[in-house]
A and B are shown apart, each in its own frame.
Chain A
Amino acid sequence: MTSDAMLAVEGLDVSFGQLRGRIKVLDGVSFAIAPGEVLGLVGESGSGKSVTALALMALLGEQGRIDAGQILFEGRDLAGLSPAEMLQIRGRAISMIFQEPTTSLNPVLPVGFQIAEVLIAHLGMGRTEALRQAASLMKQVGIPAAAERVGDYPHQMSGGMRQRVMIAMAIACRPRLLIADEPTTALDVTMQAQILRLIKELQTREGMAVLMITHDLGVIARVAHRVAVMYAGQIVESGPVRDIFRQPRHPYTRMLLRSIPRVGRRQTRLRAIAGTTPSAAAMPSACRFHPRCPDAIAICRSQAPALETTEDRQVRCWRADDSGLISQEAG
């Protein structure tokens, strides 16, 4: 892992459940984000991408626990901080936006006050100044007639506007890292385009780093510099976005890219991935992808591959160096 990383997650193991019968949901998750970089974390349901975000924010709750690994943020290990120390970081140096703006906002408080609260709590700003600043933030995130809408309640706004409010709250303290967990999944496609552009503009202007968590490879292609692909609680491949999309090395990444219908051209038949994603309670042994992998050989079923690094790419596959494959691509 490079030493100039702003965030370096190393060997993160997370489990959930009671004392007996704990279930491991993250296994050795490692990635790094440089200052001002957008890292896309992509995976399907149950891959562990959202749990990774919650672990970074120390929001795993009662049942969740970090069992191993480090979360180095600007050199400090967040996994070892007390709740009080974490309060100083969360919402300030690192902030987060969620998928569902409707449930993340307080329904009985005007949106301007909710943004102002962040400024009062973290920066000790006075009430009048905080409200003025809230209006300015609402303007920055593209809410029309922002000054008049400070007193609006969440239900008076559309989904897209509410997500803009969430973004205004998240950037209020000028965080150095923004974690965005499926920020556009609940939005219509034309609104998604607007919100992605806004996040990208703010990221460039403020120079903040972004961890963009999504199931949508299209979103990754649009905003990320680098991408890490998760499958069944592990990172299976990572690298610069163009390299991963042009020359994916893990069979899961390759097959995932081909299984997506494209709006720009019509495919005759989609190349689906057989089977289903495994549940955390019943992980396949050895390589976790082997039951669905057309290229699996004996070693894939008997021994777990490690995440191997070559230059700026990483891949977890026994057959990453055997070129071609997906069982020789006939038909």
Chain B
Amino acid sequence: MSAPLLEVRDLAKSFESGGGLLGRRSGARLQAVRGVSFDLAPGETLGLVGESGCGKTTVARMVVGLIAPSDGRIVFDGVETASAGHVDRAAMRGKVQIVFQDPYTSLNPRLRVAEIIAEPLLNLGVSRQEAQRRVAELMATVGLQPEHMSRFPHAFSGGQRQRIGIARALAPRPRLIVCDEAVSALDVSIQAQILNLLADIQRDFALTLLFISHNLAVVRHLCHRIAVMYLGQIVELAGETQLFEAPLHPYTQALIAAVPEPDPDWAPAVAELAGDLPDPSNPPAGCAFHARCPRAQEDCRQVMPVLRELAPGHHVRCHYPG
């Protein structure tokens, strides 16, 4: 395997929480991300899945440099871009881009489409003439018509706005694109168009993608490898086939079984998960999943399992995997 494009090591992020309106009570610290490590090879698509509050979006924001980690480090293309309390945005200028979930709020409503897509290019010092040429090319790539160029975002449907967001992300010829729930707000018939577009640009531009989603089916469709997160930690990390055909962590198994398949004769393989997510500002001792786990033993309540490689490329954080 070639050298990774992105190395994420022991990444952690905590936020102040519950400080009260007047800030009199000292707030609890909410550990949004706890010791997350993974590599991304050039040209690879890694999926980061989990339910609300698992920390996946916080990881995405740290990778693109929107927030600084509390601990750990991020190395992009051999250069350290983030460490505890520090972000070096210049080191990844233009090379790391993000596509957001909500195409309605992530585009400047006062700019025309051509200006939105050209903005990151002009920021990098590209000439107006060259930027204009690139905009036309990018719009064709993402399936927008040339006459769309002078329109404002409100004139577009959700799917078309997401195409604009993708064109803007592609503009500075990035090496890595982080997609944060990029298709979650779209209707299924449109979602399929955008997923196909992402697969095309990934192939055509040899892009590396970090794909954040709560939708397991979407992640399976698009990703080579998948990391499953629970309460701020990666609990399982494996190749697409390994993870979906032979998941080893009980949470992954329950998560996959909970997705309703569009097939009336389909029945889930394992029992559905009982209970609710624990309070992230007060995570349980031992394994974060033990309170909801059908397999939990005494040691699960006391000792936090480490992420172990049980088969080549298949990592699991569980005392009793299988």
- What is A's interface to B at a CB cutoff of 8 Å? 44-45, 158-161, 188-194, 196-197, 215-222, 241-242, 245, 255-257, 259-264, 266-267, 269-274, 276-277
List, in ascending order, chain B residues with CB within 8 A of A257's CB: 262
Task: Contacts A44-B189, A160-B276, A272-B195 known; list 14 others, CB within 8 Å.
Answer: A190-B255, A216-B260, A220-B262, A245-B262, A260-B217, A262-B217, A262-B261, A263-B217, A264-B266, A266-B221, A266-B240, A269-B196, A273-B192, A276-B157
Cβ-based interface call for B149 (8 A): no
Complex partner residue of A193 from B216, B244, B265, B273, CB under 8 angstroms: B273
Contacts of A215 in B (CB 8 A): 187-188
On whether the beta carbons of B260 and A276 are closer than 8 Å, the reply is: no
Contact B190 A263 (CB under 8 A): no
Whole-angstrom CA separation of A269 from B202 in the bound complex: 14
Q: Which of B218, B255, B260: most chain A Cβ within 10 A? A: B260
Q: Which residues of B sit under 8 angstroms from A276, Cβ to Cβ?
A: 157, 159-160, 190
| Residues of B240-259 contacting chain A, CB below 8 A | 240-241, 244, 254-259
For B183, the closest partner residue in chain A by CB is A261
Task: Find out whether the CB atom of A217 lies under 8 angstroms from the CB atom of B196.
Answer: no
Q: Which residues of B contact A242 (CB under 8 A)?
A: 264-265
Cβ-defined partner of A270 (8 Å) among B196, B258, B263, B268 = B196
Give chain B residues whose Cβ lies under 8 Å from the Cβ of A216.
260
B276 adjacent to A266 (CB under 8 Å)? no
Q: From the candidates B157, B188, B261, name the one contacting A221 in the complex (CB within 8 A).
A: B261
> Contacts of A217 on B, CB cut-off 8 Å?
188, 262
Whether the pair B258, A272 counts as a contact (CB closer than 8 A) is no
Tell me, in angstroms, the Cα distance from A273 to B193 when the chains sit together. Answer: 7
Taking a contact as CB atoms under 8 Å apart, the answer to whether A263 and B277 are in contact is no
Tell me which of B188, B244, B265, B268 has the highest count of chain A C-beta atoms within 10 A of its own C-beta: B188
In angstroms, Cα B276 to Cα A188, docked, is 10
Bound: A109/B307 CA distance, A: 45
A255 surroundings in chain B (CB, below 8 A) = 189
Q: Distance in Å from the Cβ of B231 to the closest Cβ of chain A?
A: 13
Q: Which residues between 191 and 223 of chain B lie within 8 Å of chain A, taking CB atoms?
A: 191-193, 195-196, 199, 214-218, 220-221
Report chain A residues within 8 Å CB of B157. 276
Give chain B residues whose Cβ lies under 8 Å from the Cβ of A197: 272
A148 CB, nearest partner CB in chain B, Å:
16
Q: How far is the CA of A194 from the CA of B260 in the complex (A)?
A: 12
Could you say which of A188, A193, A221, A266 contacts B262, with CB atoms under 8 Å apart?
A: A221
Residues of A close to B220: CB separation below 8 A: 261-263, 266
Please encode chain B, from 288 to 321, with 1 for each CB lying within 8 Å of some chain A CB and 0 for all others. 0000000000000000000000000000000000
Q: Is there contact, CB below 8 Å, between A263 and B192?
A: no
Report the separation of the CA atoms of residues A257 and B215 in the bound assembly, to the nearest whole angstrom. 17
| B181 close to chain A: CB less than 8 A | no
Q: How far is the CB of A291 from chain B (nearest CB, A)?
A: 13
Please, could you name 18 A-B residue pairs with CB atoms under 8 Å apart, sorted by A? Answer: A44-B187, A44-B188, A45-B158, A161-B276, A188-B214, A189-B255, A190-B51, A194-B274, A218-B259, A245-B262, A257-B262, A259-B188, A261-B217, A261-B218, A263-B244, A266-B221, A272-B189, A274-B193
Do A241 and B258 form a contact, CB below 8 Å, given A190-B272, A197-B272, A261-B221? Answer: no
Give Cα A138 to B158, complex, Å.
39
Docked Cα-Cα span, A219 to B241, in Å, equals: 25
User: Does any Cβ of A come within 8 Å of B52's Cβ?
Assistant: yes
Chain B residues with CB under 8 A of A44? 187-189
Q: Is the CB of A261 within 8 A of B261?
A: no
Q: Is the CB of A189 within 8 A of B187?
A: no
Quick check: A270 and B276 within 8 Å, CB to CB? no
Q: How far is the CB of B272 from chain A (nearest CB, A)?
A: 5
Whole-angstrom distance from the CB of B297 to the nearest CB of chain A?
22
Q: Which residues of A contact B260 (CB under 8 A)?
A: 192-193, 196, 216, 218-219, 221-222
Q: A44-B188, A270-B221 are in contact. Are A262 and B51 (CB under 8 A)?
A: no
What's the minimum C-beta distance from B48 to chain A, rounded to whole angstroms? 15
Separation of A218 and B193 alpha carbons in the complex (Å): 19
B51 x A264 contact (CB < 8 A):
no
Name the A residues within 8 Å of B255 (CB-CB). Answer: 189-190
Which residues on B sit within 8 Å (CB–CB) of A259? 188-189, 191-192
B256: nearest chain-A partner, CB-CB = A263
Q: Is the CB of A218 within 8 A of B214?
A: no
In the complex, what residues of A have CB within 8 A of residue B268's CB? 193
Complex CA distance for A266 and B244, rounded to whole angstroms: 9
Nearest CB of chain B from residue A111's CB, rounded to whole Å: 15
Q: How far is the CB of A276 from chain B (nearest CB, A)?
A: 5
Please, how many angstroms separate the alpha-carbon atoms of A85 and B191 in the complex? 43
Closest partner residue, chain A, to B222 (CB atom): A261
